[in-house]
Structure 1
Amino acid sequence: MIETIVFDVGETLVRDDRYWGTWADWLDIPQHTVSALVGAVVTQGRDNADALRLVRPGLDVDAEYAAREAAGRGEYLDETDIYPDVRPALTGLRELGVRVIVAGNQTTKAGELLRTLDLPADLVATSAEWGVAKPDAAFYARVLEVSGAMASETLYVGDHPANDIFPARRAGLRTAHIRRGPWGHWWADTPDVRAAADWSINSLTELINLVSY
């Protein structure tokens, strides 16, 4: 029985369109170019920030992030960034008595922005706030600390096999891989992902029926 469901953020709850679009604007590169390069690095199993380094070799992403924030052109989220199935799914799960947690590889500011959106969740936390990031096993240890349930009763939902599905499985959690975003689509049907995921889903609302049985 699933007592707690923990959700990744990027391309699970939140669209990455704005994120990559604002990076393209900051670097004065066409947005479609950055999107194409993100897709390219995804298919190679590389870090998504490598897409930025392809157009600006040697780019210090952290330094540029700080410069964007200082210039008032930093991270931003609003309701339009949330996938349309998020609120119905999270609300439905809580009505079933499931504890809902949001925990992904995001900055401290992203955590603050997510909390201002008042999602139907019991807890919203980010890797920057915890001081440890996926796929580190310590991240999933923190997930279990806040879960309030055993690993076998905790489900982690995400789109990224290497960051979400594989390490969550190694930590003993149940897993659901969502076919969403570049990672979710590119890796969805590979045998290792299928084997590691308890469920493969196309929409978060599918989780309501999954935990009802």
Structure 2
Amino acid sequence: MIETIVLDVGETLTRDDRYWRAWADWIHVPHHTLSALVGAVVAQGRDNADALRLAVPGLDVAAEVRAREAAGHGEHLDETDLYEDVRPALEQLRARGVRVIVAGNQTVRAGELLRGLDLPADLIVTSGDWGVAKPDPGFFERVLEASHAAPQSTVYVGDHPANDIFPAKAAGLHAAHIRRGPWGHLWADDPAVVAAADWRVDSLTQLTALITD
């Protein structure tokens, strides 16, 4: 029986569209150009920040992040960034007695913004808050501490095999792969993902029905 569900953030709860559009505007690159570069680095299994370096060779991404913050163009999240199924699915899970946790690879600031959305969740935390990021096993140790349930009663939901599905399974958790965003679609039918994931879904409401029925 599943007692706790833990959800990734980017392309699980939130769309990354605004994020990449904002970066494209900042570095003066057409939106579709940067989107294509993101797709290219994803397909190669590279860090998505490499898309920015491909668009602007030699770009110091960390320095640009600081410059954007200073210019008032830092991290932003609001209701329009959420996928439409997020609130209904989380509300259904909690109504059925499932503990709901949001835990992904985001900054401390992103955690503050997520908590400001007043999502129906028992805990919202980020890798920045914990000081350890996926796929490090230490991240999933923290997930299990927060779950208040045994590994076999906890499921981690995410779109990225290397960051979400494989390390969650290695930690003894159940894993659900969601076909969303570039990572979710690219690896949806990969044999290793098919073999590792306990559930493969296109929406969170679909998953809610599967794990609580």
Moved more, 50-59 or 117-126: 50-59
Q: Distance in 2 between matches of 1:212 and 1:35?
A: 36
Work out the CA distance in 2 between the residues paired with 1:7 and 1:212.
16
| Matched residue type, 1:52 | L
Q: Distance in 1 between matches of 2:133 and 2:211?
A: 27
Asked if 1:12 is matched to 2:12, the reply is yes
Residue of structure 1 in register with 2:174 after alignment: 174
Q: Which residue of 1 aligns with 2:139?
A: 139
1:106-117 matched pairs, under 5 angstroms: 106-117=106-117
Kept after mapping to 1: 8 A contact 2:199/2:207? no
How many residues were matched structurally?
A: 213
What per-residue deviation string (whole Å, max 9, x for no partner) do you get for residues 38-97 of structure 1? Answer: 011111111111111101223222221111011101111110000000000000000000
Q: Alpha-carbon deviations, 1:82-118, whole Å to 9, x = none?
A: 0000000000000000000000000111101101100
Matched residue type, 1:96:
R
2:41 partner letter: V
Question: Aligned pair 1:85/2:85, yes or no?
Answer: yes
Look up the SS of the partner of 2:204 in the other structure: coil
1:40-189 superposed matches below 5 A? 40-189=40-189
Between the aligned partners of 1:58 and 1:2, the Cα distance in structure 2 is 47
3-state DSSP of counterpart to 1:110: helix
The alpha carbon displacement at 1:24 in A equals 0.6
Q: 1:191 aligns to what? A: 191
Q: Percent identity?
A: 73
Unaligned runs of 5+ in 1: none
Name the structure 1 match of 2:204.
204
SS at match of 1:69: helix
Which letter does structure 2 place at the counterpart of 1:120? P
CA RMSD for the aligned pairs? 0.7
Q: Which amino acid aligns with 2:20?
A: W
TM-score of the two chains, using structure 1 as the length reference: 0.98
Alignment-mate amino acid for residue 109 of structure 1? R
In structure 2, the gaps of 5 or more residues are: none
Deviations 1:119-170 (A, max 9, x none): 0000000001100000000000000010000111100000000100011110
